[in-house]
């Protein structure tokens, strides 16, 4: 398993090979098969699910803590994914600005 895959393991994933059946981490398959909006919804919904159920685990502190850690993992993945999207849009915006500047220069040179 690559270092990147090890870093992306969920906190409850003590059986990495179970989630990497066939050599592909299940989170990578989920991300590849869903649209951007669906994937963000999946991460948000799963994170919220763990947070909500943690409130009902007062008697077993270790289980409550594990659910909170799971929620942190999924919400952290959501945050990372959204930041990647912002970074991509920023790159596209910069590229578009260059295209418009070049087009403006070409227009001006034609006027001269």
- Residue 17 is predicted with a pLDDT of 66
Q: Is 94 exposed, middle or buried (CB count within 10 Å of its CB: 0-12, 13-18, 19+)? A: exposed
How far apart CA 102 and CA 47 sit, in angstroms, is 45
1 neighbors 16 (Cβ within 8 angstroms): yes
Are the C-beta atoms of 51 and 34 separated by less than 8 Å? no
Q: At CA 37, angle to CA 86 and CA 100, rounded to 5?
A: 40
What pLDDT is stored for residue 94 in this prediction?
A: 76
Which pLDDT value is given to residue 70?
92
pLDDT at residue 23, rounded to an integer: 79
Q: Which pTM value belongs to this model?
A: 0.64
Query: Helices then strands (H, E): number in the chain?
Result: 5, 0
Please give the chain's pLDDT, 112 residues, in tens: 344 444 555 555 544 566 766 778 888 899 999 999 999 999 999 999 999 998 887 778 888 899 999 999 999 999 999 998 888 887 767 777 777 778 877 777 887 6
| CA distance linking residue 111 with residue 42, whole number of Å | 53
């Amino acid at each position: 398993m690559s270092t990147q895959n090890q870093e992306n393991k969920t906190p409850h994933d003590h059986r990495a090979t179970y989630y990497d059946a066939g050599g592909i981490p299940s989170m990578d398959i989920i991300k590849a098969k869903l649209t951007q909006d669906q994937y963000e919804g999946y991460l948000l919904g799963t994170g919220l699910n763990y947070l909500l159920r943690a409130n009902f685990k007062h008697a077993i502190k270790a289980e409550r803590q594990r659910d909170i850690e799971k929620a942190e993992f999924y919400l952290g993945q959501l945050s990372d994914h959204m930041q990647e999207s912002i970074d991509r849009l920023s790159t596209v915006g910069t590229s578009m600005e260059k295209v418009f500047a070049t087009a403006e220069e070409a227009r001006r040179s034609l006027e001269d």
